[in-house]
Structure 1
């Protein structure tokens, strides 16, 4: 199985090729350079894997949540490549990929879940809670909330602080969304602020989803903004002032 994965969800740009369990990746921190970098990175990753676009079984992409512009860039690129190669697309949650990447970077972490969080601006975070096992199935679905609402949601779901008598309900934290001070009230076991979304983790998750029969045609690929259109238009107007 070969899957080509692309991500520009946040302040990075990455491309990966998954080949029967082995993954190669190019990853760059690039806030504004995604469009120029993407296709050369795709060519480089395919060349490294001695593959062509026509030899991949599917393409994969982070469908969000994340940067509005970043999501559009990656999804448009994947749609174009998938159309040209006549291949399906496997959409992957950016928060699931963030959670998987955090575990990859921290093999010492135990079996507790990972609360992945990205800064959604406007004093909100994108977040989701993911298990240590099948990360394709979230314990708490991806959402966008004010930080204090995240705390309330975790309490309502029965997840306690690390010093609770029910320590098995503790969790780790991953992602830049944890910079909001209100989230400190959750008292996670450990936080990895430097964790980022990587195409290699998108590729690994896409391989699992592919085996479950989850795929879409390029024309049916849709971003998961989580915010409605009215909110995005308001945000764009604020940026233009």
Structure 2
């Protein structure tokens, strides 16, 4: 089955867009990625234009749209969700939200062949967004639910497993519990979620029959109160 799927992400300091193309069973992905703090609104739409132009297609030829649904930057999640929602609504195409933490796990697995991963993003306010994954042959399987917590509250499953930590959450390394540090064989802090991995994950979900109407787009903040308030 042929497929043209556009994915967008603005969940971190980086901004990205990717177009997955699948024809006759062969799939390729065109992508743009840029670390652009506070410039997501200005950079995201040109990235979309770039990948569509490189592919030689128009928006009308898209079959689905995906976006980084979170967790991540509150403002960035709204920017990506709004852009993806507008495209999907206007084109009458299905819309898929993709976990930023799962996309980060897939990226680390594909680049470094890590199999047991803890993905963590800096959630500010001395907390991290975190989840654990087993990865094999480009397939990610969640071991724990996504959560937001202080680093010192993290506990790792599977006592006999060596884990690798990935993501900006590990810039708070000193705050993690000693037993967690011992079980993390290494940690990589400079990877950001990317639309490229989100496109592959969204294609998997499309094949499984997922994908909803544009109006159902909902960023996942993991916090009930997404606005920081100065203590009284």
Q: Distance in 2 between matches of 1:182 and 1:7?
A: 28
Which runs of structure 2 are paired with 1:18-57 in the superposition (5 Å)?
18-20=20-22, 21-57=27-63
**Structure with greater helix share of residues:** 1
Q: Is the 8 Å Cα contact of residues 68 and 198 (structure 2) preserved in structure 1?
A: yes
Which one of the candidate residues 148, 171, 183 is aligned to 2:176? 183
Q: Distance in 1 between matches of 2:214 and 2:111?
A: 32
Q: What are the superposed Cα offsets for residues 6-35 of structure 1, whole Å, 9 maximum, x if unpaired? A: 000000100000011211101110111111
Which runs of structure 2 are paired with 1:1-241 in the superposition (5 Å)?
1-20=3-22, 21-107=27-113, 109=114, 112-133=115-136, 134-135=139-140, 137-151=141-155, 154=156, 157=157, 159-160=158-159, 166=160, 169-180=161-172, 181-183=174-176, 185=178, 186=180, 187=182, 188-229=184-225, 232-233=226-227, 235=228, 237-238=229-230
Q: What are the superposed Cα offsets for residues 119-152 of structure 1, whole Å, 9 maximum, x if unpaired? A: 00111100011111331x411011101111113x
TM-score normalised by the chain length of structure 1 = 0.87
Q: Distance in 2 between matches of 1:195 and 1:139?
A: 21
- Residue of structure 2 in register with 1:163 after alignment: none
Q: Distance in 2 between matches of 1:201 and 1:123?
A: 27
Unaligned runs of 5+ in 1: 161-165
Unaligned runs of 5+ in 2: none
**Structure with greater strand share of residues:** 2
Q: Is the 8 Å Cα contact of residues 15 and 200 (structure 1) preserved in structure 2?
A: yes
Q: Distance in 2 between matches of 1:126 and 1:67?
A: 11
Q: Name the Cα RMSD after superposition.
A: 1.7
Q: Is the 8 Å Cα contact of residues 154 and 177 (structure 2) preserved in structure 1?
A: no
> 1:184 Cα deviation (Å)?
6.4
